[in-house]
Amino acid sequence: AQLDTLDIIVLAVLLIGTAAYFTKGTYWGIVKDPYASSYAAANGNKPGKTRNIIEKMEESGKNVVVFYGSQTGTAEDYASRLAKEGKARFGLETMVADLEDYDYENLDNFPEDKIAMFVLATYGEGEPTDNAVDFYEFINGDDVSFANGGDPPLGNLKFVAFGLGNNTYEHYNSMVRNVSKALEKLGATRIGAAGEGDDGAGTMEEDFLAWKDPMWTELAEKMGLEEREAVYEPVFGITEREGLTKDSPEVYLGEPNKMHLEGTSKGPYNAHNPYIAPIAESKELFTVKDRNCLHMEIDISGSNLTYTTGDHIAVWPTNAGKEVDRFLNVLGLISKRDSVISVKALDATAKVPFPTPTTYDAIARYHMEICAPVSRQFIATLAPFAPTEEAKAEMGKLGSDKDYFHEKMTNKYVNIAQALESVCSSAKWSDIPFSAFIEGLNKVQPRYYSISSSSHVQKDKISITAVVESMEIPGRADALKGVTTNYLLALKQKQHGDPHPDPHGLTYEITGPRNKYDGVHVPVHVRHSNFKLPSDPAKPIIMVGPGTGVAPFRGFVQERAARAKAGENVGKTILFFGCRKSTEDYLYADEWKQYQEDLGDNFQLITAFSREGAQKVYVQHRLQEHAKEVDELLKQKAYFYVCGDAANMAREVNTVLAKIMSEQRGIPESKAEEIVKGMRSANQYQEDVW
Ligand code: FAD
């Protein structure tokens, strides 16, 4: 059977609607700044205001615009770092712009003495980020036309470009490559090389730093810029609000927006407006003491949130009390943690990333990624504000010596507060303007989880299967604890009767701002994906999902079992699952038995327990062992799904599949690889990887 027409239409729509869904966690995330629309009005690009970038630059006196195409905030962060550096080192009047906020028909009017910078992330399959889609389509359009119709149209435009990509994907950094090519084709001049950062090799930050220095040198030369002694200029002004306390009703204590503050939260719930959902049930899935994997049922009834099997749910975390305390303490802000402050953008083009008035405590707890890895450039920025001369010198060294930084910081997985503590713990770092943290740390990002339930079976309850992140770091006393998963673990402990849960000594403000999350609630929203079952359940499916990669497949199998039970014709359903030991981390071991009863011989669960035999066995090996059957089913147009680890497993499965086809069909491997590629573009081969 071929894909039927409806399938093709549905898949095409999904593909267009949610371009670029298959990607690695780092580039994955919220559609855009959750506060962009709610707070933009107070801070810059007012809704209804100009979408004309040239006019915007003119009226705000800017000569450099740094556009970003960002999904999780990294490209946005790099864009704002470039803007700041241009201002600090060369006195440039810089602004940062979300690509989605402007139109590009008049780019041919871009003044010759100004610069456009592009910081562009690429998605797994080579697509633009959500906020860059329109721009990308415009400049690559066959009949792209500009206001003046000059030839070449962009003869005046000078630009620089940096891309964020991942070399484990085929279309590595295709965004920056294609945009650069398109702009040059239209007559624009690029200054410096188009930089390429590689998350696959884990060198993104260093690639960025290595690219930007020669770029600035060339830019300074071409534009006749004079370098000055770098001066830090805060982007945000902080005002203490004497008349307000943390109990004043207008003070945000972590509420994401005004409706939440006023207790009138309502849908639509999305990346701008999370739903505070009750957790209906939670349980531990592992049977070992030292590792945790959570199964949680999140109740979305009455919220207007909907999902379909294969979608993702986003969970908004709260930072652990221990880390909030550490952060406030090292800055000398512990006694002021509940002081109320207002934050205002000092520059008309900047946006405050959270609602104010608020408190230092709420900012650190709910709005900033204070636990994330620390960047070398940020350390360099903070050096002048160190509390002692010795600390200043050490910060300078860390900021400028890549290997030294690696040894002292990167290897130890420290966050910003741990980094500052390790440089100087005898004095507080209270000279650092708080604005530097708002500028230099990412705003809190929701984490995504593949929904592990079927919407056909339980439309009002979304389940997740989340392994709790905990990593031993050599040379460090405490393990590195994942922000969101340990918060979820605490919520589970609370649900099971512990009034003050503190997994691994991490405490949480578990009842949320103003106790609004009491009764075990968690802020969420749903993101629709194109990782979908065939619309016809009679079609065979093959699923490969080791570890938590099994999450969406629990949903898939749950759905097919329910359909079979209801008498529908359900096709062959094969699941390859792998874990360490059948007695430790075999997820949903009991449930599969029930599904087996419902689906009968049509369900086949093939397991790989890597630590049970003399040799490690993984799902890829099992796939190979079942080569004949797999190939037969693929010939019958079975859908093939892979979920879980992007870096190794998913790539290997792809390779093994091509090998299987080549062997079984007696065709060259290159031909088999072409077939696999074809399956991917026809959505017969789908990935949900991170
Ligand atoms: P984080 O705090 O975000 O830490 C994650 C990792 O970042 C750490 O392990 C470490 O490697 C690194 N890191 C953090 N802090 C530092 C530091 N200071 N220095 C150096 N490195 C650091 N997970 C599941 O368990 N189940 C799922 O079904 C699932 N589905 C997903 C679906 C999608 C589409 C995506 C993108 C991801 C999915 N994930 C899933 C992963 C999930 O979103 C989270 O990334 C994961 O749970 C970890 O989140 P965390 O906040 O606990 O850890």
pLDDT band at 48; cut points 50, 70, 90: low
- The contacts of residue 237 (CB under 8 Å, 6+ apart) are 343, 344, 345, 346, 435
CA angle 206, 208, 214 (to 5 degrees): 105
C-alpha 683 to ligand 1 mean position (Å):
26
Name the fold adopted by 233-372+441-529.
Elongation Factor Tu (Ef-tu); domain 3 (2.40.30)
C-alpha 588 to ligand 1 mean position (Å):
22
| CA–CA distance, 16 with 99 (Å, rounded to integer) | 19
Query: Residue 79: which H helix or E strand, with range?
Result: helix 74-90
| CA–CA distance, 366 with 370 (Å, rounded to integer) | 10
Token digits of residue 444: 């809190």
pLDDT band at 23; cut points 50, 70, 90: very low
Give the residue-averaged pLDDT of 247-256: 98
Q: Which of 447, 471, 491, 506 to mutate to test the pocket of ligand 1 (most atoms within 8 A of CB)?
A: 447
C-alpha 482 to ligand 1 mean position (Å):
7
Q: What integer best gives the mean pLDDT of the chain?
A: 91
- Judged against a pLDDT cut of 60, whether residue 9 lies above it is answered with no
Q: What end-to-end distance do the CA atoms of the chain give, in Å?
A: 31
Ligand 1 site residues, Cβ closer than 6 angstroms: 25, 28, 312, 317, 371-373, 413-415, 447-450, 465-467, 469, 471, 480, 482-485, 548, 551, 690
Find out if CATH 3.90.1150.10 is the number for domain 23-223: no
Q: Which atom of ligand 1 is nearest to the CA of 447?
A: 43
Per the CB < 8 A criterion, the answer to whether 456 and 559 are in contact is yes
Q: Which atom of ligand 1 is nearest to the CA of 469?
A: 52
Positions marked catalytic: 450, 643, 688, 690
pLDDT of residue 169: 80
pLDDT of residue 209: 95
Helix, strand, coil percentages, rounded to 5, for the chain = 40, 20, 45
Token digits of residue 66: 């740094």
Q: Which of 322, 450, 530 to mutate to test the pocket of ligand 1 (most atoms within 8 A of CB)?
A: 450
Per the CB < 8 A criterion, the answer to whether 247 and 261 are in contact is no
Q: Which atom of ligand 1 is nearest to the CA of 487?
A: 52
Note whether 23-223 and 233-372+441-529 share their fold: no
**pLDDT-above-70 percentage for the chain:** 93
C-alpha 248 to ligand 1 mean position (Å):
35
Per the CB < 8 A criterion, the answer to whether 157 and 183 are in contact is yes
pLDDT of residue 33: 37
CATH number of 541-689: 3.40.50.80
pLDDT of residue 3: 46
pLDDT of residue 231: 82
- Judged against a pLDDT cut of 80, whether residue 312 lies above it is answered with yes
Give the residue-averaged pLDDT of 444-470: 97
pLDDT tens column, 177-204: 999 999 999 999 999 999 999 998 889 9
- Judged against a pLDDT cut of 80, whether residue 34 lies above it is answered with no
Give the residue-averaged pLDDT of 621-633: 98
Per the CB < 8 A criterion, the answer to whether 82 and 126 are in contact is no
Helix (H, G, I), strand (E, B) or coil at 436: helix
pLDDT of residue 32: 34
pLDDT tens column, 631-641: 999 999 999 99
What strands lie across the sheet with 340-345, from one edge to the other? 236-240, 340-345, 358-359
Give the residue-averaged pLDDT of 300-317: 97
pLDDT of residue 124: 64
Q: Which of 62-76, 131-145, 579-593 has the highest mean pLDDT?
A: 579-593
**pLDDT-above-90 percentage for the chain:** 83
- Judged against a pLDDT cut of 50, whether residue 142 lies above it is answered with yes
| CA–CA distance, 205 with 174 (Å, rounded to integer) | 19
Give the residue-averaged pLDDT of 354-379: 97
Ordered by start, the domain boundaries in the chain are 23-223, 233-372+441-529, 541-689
| CA–CA distance, 106 with 110 (Å, rounded to integer) | 7
pLDDT of residue 475: 84
Ligand 1, atom 34: nearest CA belongs to which residue? 448
pLDDT band at 47; cut points 50, 70, 90: low
Q: Which atom of ligand 1 is nearest to the CA of 484?
A: 51
- Judged against a pLDDT cut of 50, whether residue 544 lies above it is answered with yes
- Judged against a pLDDT cut of 60, whether residue 46 lies above it is answered with no
pLDDT of residue 170: 78
